[in-house]
């Protein structure tokens, strides 16, 4: 494929927060390279998130470029309850956690926990991690509403501290009551993606999808990988979800630090084999919360995520509460662009058994476009499935994804290398190709005598299938 103007392939997600909660900043973030906006449901109320969504939609219209919207659910956040002051501890001390607030007596080391399933999931021998793992406890006994534990490490236990049970077998759903309310808001806001926190098994994703459908929604479910159980059940989760997000913050609490980069690479590898979108998140440009430039280590972190095959990289506090939200997005875009200069386009992902017709056609289309020097590779897609197949290949010029569906148009913002464009629905495939050819010519992307390769399905195919591969010579 002859090189069209180089386009950035990996997508940039950015969190809208207090530092970016105005029309001018959101529009500047879009202009700087934001492809998908994230709403963090751990903070803010419904009215705040509704206004943030309006800001994103307005910026998208102003930039005449689709911008995706992802609602990130808080998940069943395990926290200690409220008590007056921190409890000093040292290794060897005994601490009791109770899910019955009436039994709490912080001065005597009996602390309240706002999560009743604790007594069902904790078992003797399990470790409990508080905060960012600065306090470690080992469970010694579970009885009634209490979990008795001994301090292994730490100096003080703070009220409202997060609690992690990395070894526990899940007994409860990943959806909390708050999550179900936030799902209803996501459907109302017509969000494109829902990120599910603390996924531990495929059933969590299935339950969430069913909950969305009952609400009348069709949002894609992104599974956040941040627990040991998710790592153990990764393959089954990949089958159930529409994409994965490597949430390195909480993953780094449940795993030793040296394991996090190894697991990140494994997740990217397994997701690539499954053909699912991947997002790397947490502290990617952390120093830009205050500084105007990242550290060299942070720049390398972003670049390596791209070179390892991540479809998207995400900014969290950098744009939500940082001092330089627009500059953080622009810096991310520059780092991604530089990394992709040395990224090569594979003609085949790997030798795999059981390749479907759709997968085979996508690989053949990529190889053909490269072999014949096609000016453009095009996907005509109703559901976005054809675009997802092409997004597995880091093509230098990306590919153009035409769709008649406004919903699919914004979902394409997560597809690596996709250039989303609307196309009115056409019953005749030849008429659709003629409209594509006219649009490419109008934009100066092809000229007379050039060829482009197009992949599509047909009205007779099952939903999400790719069955046509066509070479078009421009008249």
Asked if residue 189 and residue 44 are part of one domain, the reply reads: yes
Average pLDDT of the segment spanning 379-399: 93
Asked if residue 275 and residue 152 are part of one domain, the reply reads: no
Asked if residue 280 and residue 142 are part of one domain, the reply reads: no
The residue among 315, 340, 365 that closes a domain is 340
Asked if residue 441 and residue 310 are part of one domain, the reply reads: no
Which residues are CB-neighbours of 460 under 8 A, at least 6 positions away? none
- Is residue 345 very low, low, confident or very high in pLDDT (cuts 50, 70, 90)? low
Asked if residue 320 and residue 213 are part of one domain, the reply reads: yes
Global confidence as pTM? 0.90
Asked if residue 189 and residue 235 are part of one domain, the reply reads: yes
Q: Is residue 169 part of a domain?
A: no
Q: Based on the structure, what is the number of domains in the chain?
A: 3
Q: Is residue 132 part of a domain?
A: yes
Cβ–Cβ < 8 Å for 474, 451: yes
Q: Is residue 2 part of a domain?
A: no
Q: How does pLDDT run across 206-239, given as a tens digit for each residue?
A: 999 999 999 999 999 999 999 889 999 999 999 9
Asked if residue 291 and residue 207 are part of one domain, the reply reads: yes
Asked if residue 321 and residue 371 are part of one domain, the reply reads: no
| Structural domain boundaries enclosing 141 | 87-164
The residue among 164, 195, 212 that closes a domain is 164
pLDDT of residue 459: 65
Cα–Cα distance for residue pair 395/374, rounded to 1 Å: 12
Q: Is residue 6 part of a domain?
A: no
- Is residue 328 very low, low, confident or very high in pLDDT (cuts 50, 70, 90)? very high
Domain of residue 141, CATH code:
2.40.33.10
Q: Is residue 352 part of a domain?
A: no
Please state the length of the chain. Answer: 475
Angle at Cα 242 formed by Cα 397 and Cα 196, nearest 5°? 125
Q: Is residue 433 part of a domain?
A: yes
- Is residue 352 very low, low, confident or very high in pLDDT (cuts 50, 70, 90)? low
Least confident of 71-75, 417-421, 427-431: 427-431
Cβ–Cβ < 8 Å for 373, 1: yes
Cα–Cα distance for residue pair 229/254, rounded to 1 Å: 10
The residue among 305, 340, 375 that closes a domain is 340
Cα–Cα distance for residue pair 13/69, rounded to 1 Å: 9
Cα–Cα distance for residue pair 12/410, rounded to 1 Å: 14
pLDDT of residue 44: 93
pLDDT tops 70 at residue 353: no
Cα–Cα distance for residue pair 167/125, rounded to 1 Å: 9
Cα–Cα distance for residue pair 336/390, rounded to 1 Å: 19
Asked if residue 322 and residue 361 are part of one domain, the reply reads: no
Asked if residue 322 and residue 203 are part of one domain, the reply reads: yes
Other CB atoms within a 10 A radius of the CB of residue 91 amount to 11
Sign (positive or negative) of CA dihedral 83, 197, 326, 52: negative
HSE-up of residue 45 (Cα within 13 Å, Cβ side): 1
> Chain-wide mean pLDDT for the chain?
92
Asked if residue 153 and residue 181 are part of one domain, the reply reads: no
Sign (positive or negative) of CA dihedral 214, 276, 406, 378: negative
Which residues are CB-neighbours of 10 under 8 A, at least 6 positions away? 305, 306, 310, 311, 312, 313, 336, 339, 340, 416
Q: Is residue 80 part of a domain?
A: no
Cα–Cα distance for residue pair 330/326, rounded to 1 Å: 6
Q: Where are the alpha helices (DSSP H) in 169-284?
A: 177-188, 202-214, 228-232, 234-240, 248-254, 260-274
Q: Is residue 1 part of a domain?
A: no
Asked if residue 244 and residue 104 are part of one domain, the reply reads: no
Domain of residue 365, CATH code:
3.40.1380.20
Q: What are 418's strand-pairing partners?
A: 399
- Is residue 165 very low, low, confident or very high in pLDDT (cuts 50, 70, 90)? confident
Cα–Cα distance for residue pair 411/106, rounded to 1 Å: 48
């Amino acid at each position: 494929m002859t090189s069209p103007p180089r386009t950035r392939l990996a997508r940039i997600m950015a969190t809208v927060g207090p530092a970016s909660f105005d029309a001018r900043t959101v529009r500047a973030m879009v202009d700087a390279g934001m492809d998908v906006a994230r709403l963090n449901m751990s903070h803010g109320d419904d009215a705040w998130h509704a206004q943030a969504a309006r800001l994103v939609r307005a910026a998208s219209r102003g930039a005449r470029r689709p911008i995706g919207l992802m609602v990130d659910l808080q998940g069943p956040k395990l926290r200690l309850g409220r008590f007056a002051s921190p409890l000093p501890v040292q290794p060897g001390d005994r601490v009791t956690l109770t899910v019955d607030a009436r039994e709490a007596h912080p001065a005597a080391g009996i602390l309240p926990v706002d999560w009743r399933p604790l007594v069902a999931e904790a078992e003797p021998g399990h470790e409990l991690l508080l905060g960012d793992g600065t306090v470690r406890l080992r469970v010694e006994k579970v009885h009634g509403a209490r979990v008795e534990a001994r301090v292994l490490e730490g100096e003080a236990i703070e009220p409202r501290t997060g609690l992690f049970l990395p070894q526990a077998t899940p007994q409860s759903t990943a959806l909390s009551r708050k999550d179900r309310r936030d799902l209803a808001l996501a459907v109302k806001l017509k969000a494109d993606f829902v990120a599910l926190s603390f996924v531990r098994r495929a059933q969590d994703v299935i339950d969430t999808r069913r909950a969305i459908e009952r609400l009348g929604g069709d949002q894609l479910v992104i599974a956040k990988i941040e627990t040991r159980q998710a790592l153990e059940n990764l393959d089954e989760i990949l089958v159930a979800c529409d994409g994965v997000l490597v949430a390195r913050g909480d993953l780094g609490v449940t795993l030793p630090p040296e394991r996090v980069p190894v697991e990140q690479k494994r997740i990217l590898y397994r997701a690539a084999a499954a053909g699912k979108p991947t997002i790397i998140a947490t502290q990617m440009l952390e120093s830009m919360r205050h500084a105007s430039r990242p550290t060299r280590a942070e720049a390398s972190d972003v670049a390596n995520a791209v070179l390892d095959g991540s479809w998207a990289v995400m900014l969290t506090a950098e744009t939500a509460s940082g001092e330089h939200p627009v500059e953080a997005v622009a810096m991310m875009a520059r780092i991604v662009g530089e990394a992709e200069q040395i990224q090569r386009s594979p003609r085949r992902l790997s030798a795999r058994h059981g390749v479907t017709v759709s997968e085979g056609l996508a690989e053949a289309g990529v190889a053909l476009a490269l072999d014949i020097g096609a000016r453009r590779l095009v996907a005509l897609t109703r559901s976005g499935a054809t675009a997802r197949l092409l997004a597995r290949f880091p093509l230098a010029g990306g590919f153009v994804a035409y769709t008649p569906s406004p919903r699919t148009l914004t979902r394409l913002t997560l597809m690596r290398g996709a250039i989303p464009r609307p196309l009115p629905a056409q019953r005749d495939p030849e008429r659709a190709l003629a409209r594509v050819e006219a649009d490419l010519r109008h934009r100066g992307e092809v000229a007379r005598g050039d060829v482009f390769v197009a992949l599509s399905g047909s009205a007779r195919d099952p939903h999400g299938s790719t069955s046509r591969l066509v070479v078009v010579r421009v008249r």
